[in-house]
Structure 1
Amino acid sequence: MKLFFKLKILPYFLYFLVRLIYATNKKVYHHPKLDDEAYIFVMWHGDLLSQPFNYKAQRANKVVKGMISLNKDGEILSKTFSLLGIEAIRGSSSKGAAKVLISTIKEIKSGSDVAITPDGPRGPRFSVANGVVAIAQKSGSKVVVLNSKPSKYWQFDSWDKFVLPKPFGKIDFYMSEPYDISNLQIDEAKDFIKEKLMVHSIK
């Protein structure tokens, strides 16, 4: 019964909750003008739930597929995001890494955007795994950084300090210009992505 609730009921509850929260908040978008090419969108795991709204405000007519882990929490997120118009690529840097790397590059080559949390699914918080760099460099795709900053929010005591905006406030949504990391060494690229992600992050 508990598993049934988590997989069948909880995604719909989360969907309607976030729709309600974002409907009652004033939304301010800080977005560049992006071309129609496929990009890799990166965001921190703790800021994950805000980003479908951030992305769709700029890329409403594009297909985006998010890399989501294979565990039960990933199943919940996958179902919730599907309701928000985000398709899933199942896997992570720790499980199914080679398969998900190939699948993600294929999606980019076919014209789909992809979304990745470089510190997910297990942290440490604000770390950047090698996978996002490998995907960017092997696909030739540029990286775009997403952040959100609500004026009022709950912050949970989880490893990622997950942030959920409160109703009736304001949310600033940030989207960076596209960054080309193809000529950087892997550690340089990871440091670069982290630096850009931290600019508008909630600590």
Structure 2
Amino acid sequence: MKLRLDHPVWRRLAPALAQGYVRLLLGASRSSLHGDAAGQVLLQSPDPVIFAVWHCHLLASLYLARLFCRAKPPLVLMASPSRDGEFIADVARRLGFVVFPGSRRKGGFRALKQMAGYVRQGYSVGLATDGSRGPVHVAQKGVLYLARETQVPIVPAAVASSRKIILNTWDRFEVPLPFGRCGLVMGAPLRVSPEDRGEALEERRRLLEDRLNRLFQRSGNLFG
């Protein structure tokens, strides 16, 4: 029997298979930490941070982050309301993350408020900075609003893989392959002042976007 990708049986099985694959990947790969020293210190400290990544690196980067930040509570994520978002949310929960559903309207704002509450309790959060539908590699302002609300630093990050496949999706989602090298590349932390609004906030957005794109380029060249 051939199962379509939208078949209910496949939709139940796929998250468990993806969870097993992620665990296999990290168990059968050599993982390493690279990049900005201050970003690495914040990653490994018990203090809360906001991990900012591009959507194509979301699960791999945050699970790698957990390997290097065992002093922190489980990471908190916000999932998109799409079918892909539901899939990622299911996999993330199985891997030990706390997941909130977002939405294209008010739900996303409510989820940010909920995440801010978790940050104030000492949890770190992770966000796909280009959102659930793009444009690809263009930073949206949700992560900046969260940083301004909580006064917690944003730590940009990217994933480097010596062996990977790139899916034909809007974000060119990267899937690292086992038996290679995986690296988490940290960027310089970025803070958002309570006074950062209007053009000042837009400048912070452009700075974050530039740092993430530089990290993305570096991650692509890290292992040759």
TM-score normalised to structure 1 length: 0.91
Taking every aligned residue pair, what percent have the same amino acid on both sides? Answer: 24
1:112-127 correspondence runs (5 A): 112-127=123-138
Q: Which amino acid aligns with 1:178?
A: P
Higher relative contact order (CA 8 A, sep 6+): 1
Distance between the aligned counterparts of 1:110 and 1:88, measured in 2? 16
The yes-or-no answer on 1:195 pairing with 2:210 is: yes
Once the 2 structures are TM-superposed, how far is the Cα of residue 70 of structure 1 from its aligned partner? 2.1
Per the alignment, residue 28 of structure 2 pairs with: 24
Per the alignment, residue 186 of structure 2 pairs with: 175
CA contact (8 A) 1:54 1:174 kept: no
The yes-or-no answer on 1:102 pairing with 2:108 is: no
Per the alignment, residue 33 of structure 1 pairs with: 41
Q: Which amino acid aligns with 1:36?
A: P
Which piece of structure 1 moves more, 132-141 or 61-70? Answer: 61-70
Which piece of structure 1 moves more, 109-118 or 64-73? Answer: 64-73
1:22-171 correspondence runs (5 A): 22-30=26-34, 32-34=40-42, 35-63=45-73, 64-92=75-103, 94=105, 96-171=107-182
Are the structure 2 counterparts of residues 38 and 16 from structure 1 closer, same or farther at C-alpha, using a change threshold of 3 Å? Answer: same
Distance between the aligned counterparts of 1:135 and 1:52, measured in 2? 18
Once the 2 structures are TM-superposed, how far is the Cα of residue 69 of structure 1 from its aligned partner? 1.1
Q: CA RMSD in A?
A: 1.9
* Residue among 5, 8, 15 paired with 1:11: 15
Distance between the aligned counterparts of 2:109 and 2:60, measured in 1? 28
1:81-139 CA deviation, whole Å, 9 max, x = no partner? Answer: 11211110210565612211211111111111111001121111101112111111111
The gaps in structure 1 that reach 5 residues or longer are: none
Distance between the aligned counterparts of 1:122 and 1:95, measured in 2? 17
Which piece of structure 1 moves more, 40-49 or 19-28? Answer: 19-28
Distance between the aligned counterparts of 2:151 and 2:102, measured in 1? 21
Per the alignment, residue 186 of structure 1 pairs with: 201
Q: Which amino acid aligns with 2:203?
A: E
Distance between the aligned counterparts of 1:166 and 1:5, measured in 2? 22
Per the alignment, residue 3 of structure 2 pairs with: none
Structure 1 residue matching 2:62: 3-state secondary structure: helix
Distance between the aligned counterparts of 2:55 and 2:105, measured in 1? 15
Structure 1 runs, 4 residues or longer, greater than 6 Å off = none
Structure 1 residue matching 2:184: 3-state secondary structure: strand
The gaps in structure 2 that reach 5 residues or longer are: 1-5
Which piece of structure 1 moves more, 118-127 or 92-101? Answer: 92-101
